[in-house]
Structure 1
Amino acid sequence: MPGLTHFSDSFWGTGFTSSAGFDALVQRMNEGKKLSRELEDYFRQRGKLESSYSQDLMKLFKSLKMKEVVDTIEKTWNSIKAEVEKMAESHSKAASSFQKQSEEMKKFAEVQTVKKRQLEDHVKRYQQNKNNMYTKCMNNKKNYNQKCQERDTAKSVFEANRQSVTITAKELEKLRMKKEKSEEEKSKADLAYQSSLDALEHARMEWENAFQTACNEFQSLEEERIAFMREEMWKSTNIDSLTAVSVDESSETIRKVLETCQVEEDISRFIEKCKTGQERPAKIQYENYYGNVPVENNVKSHATPPANRAPQPIPSQGTRPAPPQSRAPDARIVDVEQDSMYSTIDSSDSTYSTIDSSARITPIDDNQLYHTLEMSDDTGTVVSPMSYSGMCTVVHPYVAKNASELTVTTGSKVIFVRNMANGFIQVVEEGTKKYGLIPERCVQKFEVPKQNQENPPLIDFL
């Protein structure tokens, strides 16, 4: 501890009219008052924050609906929601405590302010009186010194002229009267000076006693303020600790419930309760859109061969001559008469079709063959390969190099018609319905769809 512990021993000064010690004490009191207001404001704001947070937690709790306990994770979630309500209550209690501290701090500061104002006014009154007496005393002292000088001058002049033989009695009498008057004025000034000194000393003693009392009271108020603020800060820290302990207890409750949560157990329980089976859906098979479309006006229906009939190969029409390398192979369209005999290929009973050898083959001009989708027989009936061809997707673009070929782009759809030599195939473009040749590598691999229709097509390509 420092050597000086009392205000009454530490705030004096040698200057008679100096108020440095009193001013220092007043400044300290004002700083304490400001600090008290800041602490009061802190408690009030903390109370508002805790209250707002508590209300928000309570709103959150009310918005959460308790789940019917199914598995351990639902049980944990219900525990969290229940602990949220406890946390909201803890923060609500903290808000009330901070608000109470704010009110107590305000009352304490008001009481101290009143006491300090009274002490300040009391000391200032005696200090002002002391200063006034000092000023009056100094004026009387100045007047006294002046009168003394005048008296000494008058006496010297009178004594000098008294020895002179040339001065008249009348003039000498005037000098004597002036000397006596200066003696009288000097005595009066001396009496006033001494009286003012007595009054000044009395004022000084009163001021000293008042300031001594004020120092003791100021020290008492300051000690009380520091002790009170320290206690209130301690209380606020305890409030935070209690709130934190309450929140930690809620968190510990949640952790204990979480320890019982088992992933495998919840998964197994859900499977046993809601399982729908282990068999997966079968693969969806491709169905050709043109597989079951009948060809009208140029076909004749025939019954499907019996299922126990052995499959028969299609009769060969002879070896096709290889086309010249400089151009695409010639294409021919087979026109089938109304009375042509045929049978269909049935994949379900492994039966293959045969084509009557009486079918007539008619050569068609290349431009007519590759640049149109529609083809006619002798009767003018239109026969479209779309009724029985497979659908493909172009994966590489190709630009036609002659009139027999077809320009295609990546992603376009084409209908396969037949294989040609030199790696070319005949196709029909789905959108434009243009007919021509493209390299086989330009299309995605495909399978010719199975024929499931009752009446098979009558047209084939050589």
Structure 2
Amino acid sequence: NTDLISTAGYDGITQHMNDGRKNCKEYEDFLKERAAIEERYGKDLLGLSRKKPCGQTELNTLKRALDVFKTQVESIGQSHIQLAQVLREEAKKMEDFREKQKFHRKKIELIMDAIHKNRNLQYKKTMEAKRLYEQRCRDKDEAEQAVHRSTNLVTPKQQEKLFVKLAQTKTALEDSDRVYQMNVAAVEKVREEWQSEHIKACEFFESQECERITYFRNALWLHVNQLSQECVKNDECYEEVRKSLETCSIEKDIECFVSIHKTGTLPPTPVTYENYYNSQKSAAPGRNQAPPAPGMGRRPRLPVPSGGPGDPEYSTVDGYSLIQHH
């Protein structure tokens, strides 16, 4: 700015730097809030996995698959809790970076504030010296005009007073002129010093802004990488569940159920009509009981369900398969 005491440009720069610091603080708060969400989510998953029953009476291969499922849900919960801690650490790094920049910038701002104050004070003194100098010039001019006008119109004594006053105004003019020139020289020295420091400050602020943008960009890049890595970890856990489901067998689970709950190898015999009187006769001494009728003995064992090559496993629902058949 051509106005020496204007700080419009400097104020614009410092405002931008403060806005940058505010933006870093907003991102820092965003990470902290995201960390809190991840931690709550992780703890909820842990509670769900550990406390909520999920097919607890299932048997054999499906039971193992459900156990793997709950274990992996717990692992995902732990992973989200760990992610929350990582995000808090990243937020702390952003806070440290922001405070470090603020500390170094504060030193420059203090120097600039002091030099602005000195510049404005010296400029004010110079303008006051200029005003006084110009007033002394007018006083001298008026005294000279008074001397010229009074020629042959006043007494010698009055004439002498006019000459004394003229001499005094000239002396005052010389003094004020000297003070004015000294102040001009002083303000020019201050101006040069201010300009030099202003350039240094601008270069420092530019360096800080480059550093801030670079740090902010890298921090955001790292954040999305962390989230992507979390998705990969989650998918690895889900893959373990898919693998365990591939081992599920309808035939084996039904055989397991039969093996655990079977009540015997013989079916119940038919209920026949028994005549009371005939049973009394059969109970008489010396009589043999009649052998059982043909076909009333032991029934053959029920066939065990078997799965053919085309039979569906648990992974197939309404013709839609989640698992590749090998």
TM-score (normalised: structure 1): 0.54
2:97 corresponds in structure 1 to 108
1:274, CA displacement in angstroms?
Answer: 3.7
CA distance 1:192–1:262, change in 2 (3 Å): same
Q: Is residue 57 of structure 1 aligned with residue 38 of structure 2?
A: no
Of 177, 198, 207 in structure 2, the residue corresponding to residue 220 of structure 1 is 207
TM-aligned CA deviation for residue 275 of structure 1: 5.8
1:234 to 212, 221, 245: 221
Q: CA deviation at 1:267?
A: 4.4
Map residues 299-314 of structure 1 onto 2, 5 A cutoff: none
Shift of residue 64, structure 1, vs aligned partner: 6.0
- How many angstroms does 1:174 deviate by? 1.3
Give the 3-state SS of the residue equivalent to 2:180 in structure 1: helix
Match in the other structure for 1:204? 191
Q: Secondary structure at the match of 2:150?
A: helix
Whether 1:75 aligns to 2:54 is no
Name the structure 1 match of 2:14: 26
State the distance in 1 between where 2:251 and 2:267 align. Answer: 19
- Structure 2: how far apart are the matches of 1:265 and 1:278? 23
- AA at the equivalent of 1:133: Q
Deviation at 1:273, TM superposition (A): 5.2
Q: CA RMSD in A?
A: 2.7
Identity percentage of aligned residues = 32
Q: Where does 1:11-410 land on structure 2 (aligned, <5 Å)?
A: 13-63=1-51, 70-162=59-151, 164=152, 166-263=153-250, 266-267=253-254, 270-271=257-258, 274=261
Amino acid aligned to 1:233: L
Aligned to 2:324: none
Distance 2:223 2:64 in 1: 36
Q: Distance in 1 between matches of 2:229 and 2:146?
A: 96
| Count of aligned residue pairs for this structure pair | 268
Partner amino acid, structure 2, of 1:254: V
Q: Give the SS at the match of 1:29.
A: helix
How far, CA to CA, are the matches of 2:20 and 2:154 in structure 1? 79
- Aligned to 1:167, what secondary structure does the other structure show? coil
Structure 2 SS opposite 1:174: helix
Rg: which structure is higher?
1
Q: In structure 1, what is the Cα distance between the partners aligned to 2:256 and 2:103?
A: 73
Show structure 2 runs of 5+ residues with no match.
272-326
Bigger relative contact order, structure 1 or 2 (CA pairs below 8 A, ≥6 apart) = 2
Give the C-alpha shift of residue 154 in structure 1. 1.0
Query: What 5-or-longer segments of structure 1 have no aligned partner?
Result: 1-12, 283-462
Q: 1:77 to 1:197 in 2, by over 3 A?
A: same
| Displacement after TM superposition at 1:101 (Å) | 0.9
SS of aligned partner of 1:203:
helix
Question: What is the rounded CA distance, in whole Å, between the counterparts of 2:233 and 2:256 in structure 1?
Answer: 34
Q: Deviations over 1:308-346 (max 9, x none)?
A: xxxxxxxxxxxxxxxxxxxxxxxxxxxxxxxxxxxxxxx
Measured against aligned partners, the alpha-carbon deviations of 1:217-274 in whole angstroms (never above 9, x if no partner) come to 1111111111112111112111111111000111122122223334465446535654
CA gap of 1:178–1:68, structure 2 versus 1, over 3 A, is same
Amino acid paired to 2:172: E
Cα distance between partner residues in 2 of 1:220 and 1:161 = 70
Please identify which structure carries the higher helix content.
2
Query: Structure 1: which amino acid aligns with 2:165?
Result: K
Name the residue aligned to 1:301: none
CA drift at 1:54: 2.5
**TM-superposed deviation, 1:21:** 0.8
Whole-Å separation in 1 of the counterparts to 2:2 and 2:167? 41
* TM-score of the pair, normalised by structure 2: 0.74
AA paired with 1:160?
R
Letter in 2 for 1:58: L
Partner residue of 1:314? none
Write out per-residue CA displacement over residues 156-204 of structure 1, whole angstroms, 9 at most, x where no aligned residue.
2212323x2x432112111111111111111111111111111111111
Q: Identify, as 1 or 2, the structure richer in strand.
A: 1
Instruction: Confirm or deny: 8 A CA contact 1:130 1:204 kept in the other structure.
Output: yes
- Counterpart residue identity of residue 33, structure 1: R
C-alpha distance in 1 between matches for 2:173 and 2:20:
54
For residues 29 and 150 of structure 2, the distance between their equivalents in structure 1, rounded to whole angstroms, comes to 85
Per-residue CA deviations over 1:267-288 (Å, capped at 9, x if unaligned) read 4653565466988x99xxxxxx
Separation in 1 of the partners of 2:129 and 2:68?
A: 91
Q: Tell me, yes or no, if the aligned pair for 1:64 and 1:81 is still in contact at 8 Å.
A: no
Runs ≥4 in structure 1, deviation > 4 angstroms? 64-69, 262-265, 275-279
Q: What is the alpha-carbon distance in structure 2 between the residues aligned to residue 148 and residue 30 of structure 1?
A: 49
* Shift in CA distance, 39/176, structure 1 to aligned 2, threshold 3 Å: same
